[in-house]
Structure 1
């Protein structure tokens, strides 16, 4: 079966700094993948390229069964193609209820006419309740989003992305700032989401990555240094040297 996302020989530099260097990786249609690596490894730039925020100097990014080239497409078009991205800091509408946040995120036409005339259908209501249950916010549906804990806001934003039915979900450091219990619940949300779509998690918390129990890609200096199970990559001498042995390793 062909991959959902193919990144082939991608390179990009900024003012002489080689941020991504001949990067190639492949993501399957229903796959959970963790991406780790030291500061400056190219993790954020990789996501910027996939989502259209940054255009590479060379290489190709191919998407879906049509092998659609994402190079040159803007961020909005790529999002419409089915790629959703969650940044590290949660971005929700804090003055609105959790239910209203989910409603705003539903995959609907975004032109002004449809927005003005929008009324939630029974199917929309059912979808919102399904999303709330999936991320563990059923009891918070009528609560203002601004009153949620940090972890709950992260779950809400993940749920808002899932409301748009993406085929690929990019998640940046979801465990940052969470309690142990919140990290465990976040793990379950992401693992469950990967049953029906691809999920790429950029993370540096090794305990969290181990809980994900998935294939791991290690980036270093903009290239893939190692790939495989967490045990495999953490026993790789090169990974130990450039990442695990560094006290300043982070995102």
Structure 2
């Protein structure tokens, strides 16, 4: 089966520092993948490249069945192609309700005239209800986003990304700041989402990664150091030396 995302020989330097060094790996169409590694390993830069925020000096990033190059697309085009990114800190409209946040995120025609004339409809309301249920916020749709717990805000942002119908979700440290119960619910959510789309989770928390029970890619100095199950990579002497043995 062909990969949904194929990173091939990508390198990028900032002021002489090589943040990504000949990085190559693939993500399948319905796959949950954890990306781990020490600070400065290139995890954030990898996500920046995939989403069009950073242009590599060499290499390519191919996307979808037709293997289109993401490097020929801008950030908005990449988002419309089906790549969604969730940053570590939730970015939601705190003064708006959960339902309003999700409604604003729904995939729709974004030209100025369409936006000015747009009104919620029974179908959009139904979609928002489905999204809220999917991320565990069915009982919170009328609450202001600012009143939610940290974990609930993370779920709301995931719901807002899902409103765009992405085929790949890039999720940055979702477990940070969550209660144990929220972490367990987040694990369940991410595993379920990966049944129908690709989900890449960048995470430092090894307990959370173990709960995800998925393939793990270890980055070090901008390259793949090891890949496989968590048990496999954590037995790797190089991984122990550069990451786990700190």
Question: What TM-score bracket applies, with the shorter chain setting the length?
Answer: over 0.9
Aligned to 1:249: none
Unaligned runs of 5+ in 1: 247-251
* Distance (whole Å) between structure 2 residues aligned to residue 194 and residue 92 of structure 1: 23
Aligned to 1:130: 130
TM-score, normalised by the number of residues in structure 2: 0.99
Aligned to 1:177: 177
* Distance (whole Å) between structure 1 residues aligned to residue 76 and residue 164 of structure 2: 13
Aligned to 1:77: 77
The CA deviation at 1:73 is 1.8
Aligned to 1:208: 208
The worse-fitting range, judged by mean Cα deviation, of 153-162 and 124-133 is: 124-133
Aligned to 2:29: 29
CA RMSD of superposed structures (Å): 0.7
Aligned to 1:142: 142
Aligned to 1:105: 105
Given the alignment of the two structures, is residue 159 of structure 1 paired with residue 162 of structure 2, yes or no? Answer: no
* Distance (whole Å) between structure 1 residues aligned to residue 12 and residue 204 of structure 2: 23
* Distance (whole Å) between structure 1 residues aligned to residue 19 and residue 91 of structure 2: 26
**Cα pair 1:83 1:167 within 8 Å, conserved:** yes
What's the secondary structure of 1:238's corresponding residue?
helix
Aligned to 2:237: 237
Unaligned runs of 5+ in 2: none
* Distance (whole Å) between structure 2 residues aligned to residue 44 and residue 176 of structure 1: 16
The CA deviation at 1:112 is 1.7
The worse-fitting range, judged by mean Cα deviation, of 230-239 and 66-75 is: 66-75
Aligned to 2:87: 87
> Which portions of structure 1, spanning 4 or more consecutive aligned residues, are displaced by more than 3 angstroms?
none
TM-score, normalised by the number of residues in structure 1: 0.97
Aligned to 1:47: 47
**Cα pair 1:36 1:204 within 8 Å, conserved:** yes
* Distance (whole Å) between structure 2 residues aligned to residue 156 and residue 125 of structure 1: 16
Aligned to 1:222: 222
The CA deviation at 1:119 is 1.9
